Amino acid sequence: MSRVRSVLREVWPRLAAIAILVAIWQLVYQSGFFDKVVLPSPLQVWRALGHDLGNGVIWRNTESSIVRLLIGFTVSVAAGTVFGLLEVASSFFERSFGSLVVGLQSLPSIAWLPLAVLWFGLSEQAVLFVVIIGSFPAVALATMNSVRQVPPLLQRAGRTMGASGWRLYRHVVLPAAIPGYVGGMQQGWAFAWRSLMAGELIIASANGLGGLLTRSQQNLETPTVIAVMAVIVIIGMFVDLAVFGTLDNRIRSRRGLLVHQG
Amino acid sequence: MRPATARRMALVPDPALASAKLAVRDVARVYRSARGGKVSACADVSFEVHPGEFVCILGPSGCGKSTLLNMLAGLDRPDRGDVLIDGHPIAGPGPDRAVLFQEPALFPWMSVAGNVDFALKFVGVPKSERRDRTMHWLAKVQLSRFAEAQPHELSGGMRQRAALARALACEPEVLLADEPFAALDAQTREILQAELQRVWLDTGKTVVFVTHNVREAAFLADRVLLMSAPPGTIVEDRAIDVERPRNVDDPALARVVAGIHAHLIEEVNKVVAREIGSA
């Protein structure tokens, strides 16, 4: 009961904000300021969402996007982790390639797409490339920082128990770095999701939510455009909060790192 | 004074030191300060600790007492001189010397029992024995009920007890403590001092305990080594002949405290005078 109430307390401000935005939207729609073709009413969007969910269009495209994302994200987590650990192991590696990756982060991943298209064509690989290059730096940096920020005291304690070298890493440093590492994965996920949508959108791939967005726009199916945008937001938030949020919460509360709100 | 060449041959156990568990000989350690200058942490420190002895190192802040402890732990190395265990130079940290830090340094991802078990696993105790030994040592520090708690669920005093259990469970020959009770409130500190005395009387470990608290040193130690203002050297080596188990309110202890205190204040005043002079 109290759990339901606490969830409600979390959720209602968001619902209120959404309700207010929808109301404003409805008013703008009714004012006739925009052509009805380019700004449909909330109800039309709702119907389009129901229709496209019903006929499986959204599910199909979501599935292709998620599959791409999982492949790209897995590769970038693996590569980013190895890269981050190399940065920890070698200060030369950090100062050389590590600083390049920091620079890479200031380049929006979508800026790689033209090059990716030249290399791979308007293909799956081009999109995957953009996803990987977009999320890998966040994972690499978080891996390095999470290991660097392990309190030296814990390492000293481990060493006095006779742990050294790889054993010290395996049993003390890496477990201690996990909260920061999970935070980095969460960030990497967010970058991967945005890069994926941007890549699909521009390549207008035959499947995937980004492609659906482009095709709907070209067919002037504005309600579907907005409905798909909502789906993108919902998936992004769901994974961010439900998957990473829960994981992060569990790890932090176990270690006493959560600040409880009275 | 022995010739320098003789000191270099520390690999051969020195018969003259055969009775010493730990020996620090002519040790000096210099640090580079942030501004590029050199800060001498300690200079020409020599002392011995006999098996089963409880030695407190007491001194003003910056006198290098933690540096000495780190060298005994093998976490730091002297620039000059030798640091020996059983007559052999200390090359690095090892489970024969358990360390209690000022912070409990428990691993936050494991339960209290998990922390003790982890230490035992590292020392190579077989799994079948670990549970019993863990529970035995948690009982010794009165934490049996909290075996499955996470470290953050314990109070500061309880965490430090857990750290003590973890340190002693590996049955080290030497326990090194670096102001382990300094961050605790006065009451908890006294309780833990009494408990450490009790555990020490039970186990007879060799202990080196660093503190800046005179009462703590007098209460716990067989011998108090008083260090000078930095660069620290040992200016007094005083045996505390008060019967055990000791009581904090023992008047004999109060007299000892007064004596050490007077000497310590002299050293602290030197530090203050120097700081004011250089300001």
Q: Are B210 and B56 in contact (CB under 8 A)?
A: yes
Residues 171-210 of A with CB under 8 A from B: 171-172, 175-176, 178
Mean pLDDT value across chain B: 89
In this prediction, residue B90 carries a pLDDT of 94
Q: Do A162 and B153 touch (CB under 8 A)?
A: no
In this prediction, residue B4 carries a pLDDT of 44
Q: Please report the beta strands in B93-215, taking only residues with DSSP state E, as ranges in sequence order.
A: 97-100, 174-178, 206-211
| Confidence band of B5 (pLDDT split at 50, 70, 90) | very low
Q: CA A44, CA B264: separation in Å to the nearest integer?
A: 84
pLDDT tens, residue by residue, A123-134: 889 999 999 999
Mutate to test the interface with A, among B101, B102, B122, B173 (most CBs of A within 10 A): B122
CA proximity to B217, closest of B189, B188, B184, B185: B189
pLDDT tens, residue by residue, B92-104: 998 899 999 999 9
| Confidence band of A260 (pLDDT split at 50, 70, 90) | low
* Mean pLDDT confidence for B135-141: 93
Q: CA B209, CA A12: separation in Å to the nearest integer?
A: 56
| Confidence band of A163 (pLDDT split at 50, 70, 90) | confident
* Mean pLDDT confidence for A135-161: 93
Residue type, A212: L
Q: Is the pLDDT of residue B6 over 50?
A: no
In this prediction, residue B18 carries a pLDDT of 61
Q: In the CATH scheme, what architecture does the domain A41-254 have?
A: Orthogonal Bundle (1.10)
Using CB atoms, pick whichever of A153, A159, A161 lies closest to residue B170.
A161
| Confidence band of B123 (pLDDT split at 50, 70, 90) | confident
**Which of B6-15, B143-152, B158-167, B218-227 bottoms out in mean pLDDT, i.e. has the lowest?**
B6-15
In chain A, which residues have their Cβ closer than 8 Å to the Cβ of B98?
Answer: 160-161
Would you call the peptide bond into B245 cis, given omega within 30 degrees of 0 as the criterion? yes
In chain A, which residues have their Cβ closer than 8 Å to the Cβ of B118?
Answer: 161, 171
Q: CA A258, CA B128: separation in Å to the nearest integer?
A: 35
pLDDT tens, residue by residue, A53-82: 999 999 999 999 999 999 999 999 999 999
Which has the higher per-residue pLDDT, B60 or A217?
A217
ipTM: 0.85
In this prediction, residue B15 carries a pLDDT of 55
The residues, ordered by sequence, that sit 6+ positions from A26 with a Cβ below 8 Å of its Cβ are A41, A42
Q: Is the pLDDT of residue A1 over 60?
A: no
In chain A, which residues have their Cβ closer than 8 Å to the Cβ of B95?
Answer: 160-162
Superfamily of domain B16-96+173-278: P-loop containing nucleotide triphosphate hydrolases (3.40.50.300)
Kindly state the DSSP code that residue A164 receives in the 8-state scheme: -
Q: Do A255 and B152 touch (CB under 8 A)?
A: yes
Domain-by-domain residue ranges, chain B? 16-96+173-278, 107-171
- A152 and chain B in contact, CB less than 8 A: no
Q: Are B10 and B80 in contact (CB under 8 A)?
A: no
Counting one residue from chain A and one from chain B, the pairs whose CB atoms sit within 8 A come to 65
In this prediction, residue B276 carries a pLDDT of 83
Gap from A165 CA to chain B (nearest CA, Å): 13
Q: CA B55, CA A235: separation in Å to the nearest integer?
A: 63
Q: CA A70, CA A83: separation in Å to the nearest integer?
A: 19
Mutate to test the interface with A, among B107, B159, B173 (most CBs of A within 10 A): B107
Kindly state the DSSP code that residue A219 receives in the 8-state scheme: T
- A160 and chain B in contact, CB less than 8 A: yes
CA A191, A84, A98 angle in degrees (round to 5)? Answer: 85
In this prediction, residue A262 carries a pLDDT of 37
In chain B, which residues have their Cβ closer than 8 Å to the Cβ of A248?
Answer: none
Using CB atoms, pick whichever of B97, B103, B152 lies closest to residue A256.
B152
Residue of A nearest to B98 (CA): A160
| Confidence band of A259 (pLDDT split at 50, 70, 90) | low
Domain-by-domain residue ranges, chain A? 1-33, 41-254
* Mean pLDDT confidence for B38-64: 89
In chain A, which residues have their Cβ closer than 8 Å to the Cβ of B122?
Answer: 161-163, 167, 171
Q: CA A160, CA B74: separation in Å to the nearest integer?
A: 8
Q: CA A149, CA A155: separation in Å to the nearest integer?
A: 11
pLDDT tens, residue by residue, B256-267: 999 999 988 888
In this prediction, residue B17 carries a pLDDT of 55
Q: Is the dihedral of CA B90, B93, B95, B99 positive or negative?
A: positive
| Token output for B53 | 């002895």
Using CB atoms, pick whichever of B107, B119, B122 lies closest to residue A154.
B107
